[in-house]
Amino acid sequence: MYMFKEGFLWGGATAANQFEGGWNADGKGVSISDMCTNGSRDEAKWFTQAIHADRLYPSHEASDFYHHYKEDIALLGEMGYKCFRLSIAWSRIFPTGMEETPNEAGLQFYDRVFDECIRYGIEPLVTISHYEMPFELARKNNGWLSRETIGCYVRYAEAILDRYHDKVKYWITFNEINCAQMLMGDIVATSMIRDFEGPIDTIRRTEQDRYQALHHQFVASARTVKYAHENYPECKMGNMTAFLAAYPGTCNPTDILTAQRFMQDDNWYCNDVQIKGEYPYFAERLWKEHQVSLSIEDGDLNILKEGTVDFTSFSYYMSVCVGESGEENSIGGNLTNGKKNPYLKASDWGWQIDPEGLRYALNETYDRYRIPVMVVENGLGAFDEIVDGRVHDIYRIDYMREHIRQMELATEDGVDLMGYTCWGCIDLVSATTGEMRKRYGQIFVDKYDDGTGSLERIRKDSFYWYQKVICSNGKEL
Ligand code: BGP
């Protein structure tokens, strides 16, 4: 029992576009997320002409980490955090994405943030691109659809590696890169925004575009990993996917094959490219099914081989049932649909809660790749209420406890597990719904969907519970 290794990276995770605010501070350029209005991001309206002052843009202030970072990192330090996963806002460093030199004021902000982390003994884990890019670049190139974006990303990635390599050891090239294949992929994961003037449902990119954009991301990621390995061998480079454990709805062999395909297409396709350095054997079948014909330039396949990652990571929120039978689970704001699993309960947003699925995900991943694995997102999005100045989020504690237990069992199974950063450790804006009320944190932020709130930080009950967990290295759950 209690197998978490010495130096296990306990912590939490955030993303600039959902957390930072300061959207136009100190020379920051407009990011695609800054053009997304309130309400469900599934129905977001994208404005290509001007910022409309009469609308709420959740990313503009968000939780205002930009002005609260000292207080926030001190709170993480108080909880005993060993690791803080955060993303860098690309448009803070290269405001339009196309400048030759980076914005010094933007670089200085993250210097201050990392110095603060180091002060508390917290290891930063940086996501280079978490669901955004500079708006000007997205408009010019239609996001990742153009090969030109690769060079812009690499210039940005090299600039931050050059600057922070002695402060930041752990890096992830893209957040949930496999979401490019899924429901929200078009704008969120691949930044393809051209023509988005109305609800997303009215304009869908072709599968051809999505897979091509994803290929460009693979090349950009591999070039970045190679650059880091050659110049900063002490840095550990990782990839990241949204892990969706797919179960067959029944023992009907057809359902088994459906689940196997789902695992291949949604979980292994991206991982194989970034970890093994080549497209998997089933890629041809997948492309054929989606009528995709990839344009792969000379040298691309070599660079994929040369830029494989040192560790792999994933977000884990739910499992899905697939196959012929069963009731559809059309989940609002979800990454994917599937069938209802009668053995599982769901969150208020319909995400099926499945702690054992995390043990399954860890074993499947480690069995396939044999490199260290990290769970970099997991948590319960819930409506929290303040009662007498406190938030009694017992439901969140229960959720985390059950998932951590299963991580421990996976470790006993033999999985090389590096760490765990729960999602949204300080309340932030939801990626799928644009809401503030879908809260994940151990720290409450006094901010509401109508834009009001003092931004005060309040320790929830889960704060004290997680503090004990970290202090006992997972023994006291
Ligand atoms: C992941 C994203 C995060 C995050 C999380 C929770 O897919 O990487 O950015 O937001 O999901 O999702 P949501 O905020 O929609 O509840």
Least confident range of 270-284, 315-329, 348-362:
315-329
| pLDDT tens by residue, 70-108 | 999 999 999 999 999 999 999 999 999 999 999 999 999
Which atom of ligand 1 has the smallest separation from the CA of 351? 16
Q: Has residue 117 been placed in a domain?
A: yes
> What are the backbone angles phi and psi of residue 457, rounded to the nearest 5°?
-100, 135
Nearest to 171 by CA among 232, 113, 217: 232
Q: Has residue 476 been placed in a domain?
A: no
Q: Has residue 451 been placed in a domain?
A: yes
Q: Ligand 1 pocket test: pick from 347, 423, 425, 437 the residue with the most ligand atoms within 8 Å of its Cβ.
A: 423
Tell me, using a 6 A CB cutoff, whether residue 137 lines ligand 1. no
- On the question of pLDDT at 332 being above 90, the answer is no
CA-CA-CA-CA torsion for 414, 262, 40, 58, nearest 10 degrees? Answer: 40
Q: Has residue 1 been placed in a domain?
A: no
Which residues partner with 248 through β-bridges? 322
Q: How far is the CA of 241 from the centre of ligand 1 (A)?
A: 12
295, burial (CB in 10 Å: exposed 0-12, middle 13-18, buried 19+)? exposed
Least confident range of 218-232, 301-315, 318-332, 407-421:
318-332
Give the chain's domain count: 1
Report yes or no: 276 and 308 within 8 Å, Cβ to Cβ: yes
Full residue range of the structural domain in which residue 256 is found: 9-471
Rounded mean pLDDT, 289-298: 96
The whole-number pLDDT of residue 57 equals 83
- On the question of pLDDT at 411 being above 60, the answer is yes
Q: Has residue 477 been placed in a domain?
A: no
Least confident range of 194-203, 236-245, 413-422:
194-203
Which residues partner with 328 through β-bridges? 339
Beta pairing, strands 236-248 & 311-322: parallel
Higher pLDDT, 454 or 339: 454
Q: Has residue 89 been placed in a domain?
A: yes
- Residue with CA nearest ligand 1 atom 3: 431
Q: Has residue 3 been placed in a domain?
A: no
Rounded mean pLDDT, 410-436: 95
Which atom of ligand 1 has the smallest separation from the CA of 242? 7
Nearest to 26 by CA among 89, 84, 117: 89
| Average pLDDT of the residues of the chain | 92
Q: Has residue 108 been placed in a domain?
A: yes
Structure tokens at 266: 């949604």
The proportion of the chain whose per-residue pLDDT surpasses 70, expressed as a percent, equals 90
Tell me, using a 6 A CB cutoff, whether residue 41 lines ligand 1. no
User: Would you please indicate which residues are annotated as catalytic (active-site) residues?
Assistant: 176, 377
- On the question of pLDDT at 126 being above 70, the answer is yes
Taking the C-alpha atoms of residue 37 and residue 55, their distance in angstroms, rounded to an integer, is 6
What residue has token string 């930080």?
Answer: 457
Taking the C-alpha atoms of residue 427 and residue 443, their distance in angstroms, rounded to an integer, is 6
The whole-number pLDDT of residue 38 equals 58
Q: What does 173-193 look like in DSSP terms, one character per residue?
A: EESSGGGGGSTTIIIIIT---
Which distant-in-sequence residues (6+ apart) come within 8 Å of 472 by Cβ?
Answer: none
Q: Of 49-63, 183-197, 333-347, 441-455, where does the model show the most confidence?
A: 441-455
The whole-number pLDDT of residue 104 equals 98
- Residue with CA nearest ligand 1 atom 16: 430
Tell me, using a 6 A CB cutoff, whether residue 175 lines ligand 1. yes
Angle among Cα 446, 452, 454 to the nearest 5 degrees reads 40
Report yes or no: 154 and 129 within 8 Å, Cβ to Cβ: no
CATH number at residue 404: 3.20.20.80
What residue has token string 């879908």?
Answer: 438
Which atom of ligand 1 has the smallest separation from the CA of 438? 16
Q: How far is the CA of 314 from the centre of ligand 1 (A)?
A: 12
Q: How far is the CA of 96 from the centre of ligand 1 (A)?
A: 25
CA-CA-CA-CA torsion for 370, 376, 382, 388, nearest 10 degrees? Answer: 130
Taking the C-alpha atoms of residue 268 and residue 106, their distance in angstroms, rounded to an integer, is 35
Rounded mean pLDDT, 366-377: 98
